Amino acid sequence: MSRKTLLAVFAVIGTVLAFFQQQFGLTLDVTAIVGGLTVIVLYILFEAKLDFKRITGQVGKFKDPKFWLAFASAVLVGLQNAFGWNLPTEAIVAVLTVIMSILFGKDFAKARS
Tell me the pLDDT of the chain (113 aa) as tens digits: 566 677 677 777 777 776 776 676 666 666 766 777 777 777 777 777 777 777 777 777 777 787 788 888 888 877 887 788 888 878 888 888 888 888 888 877 778 87
Q: What are the distances in angstroms from CA 14 to CA 19, 39, 42?
A: 9, 11, 16
What residues does each domain of the chain span? Answer: 3-57, 60-112
- Terminal alpha carbon distance of the chain: 46
Closest CA to 8 of 52, 49, 40: 40
Is residue 12 a contact partner of residue 36, using CB atoms and an 8 Å limit? yes
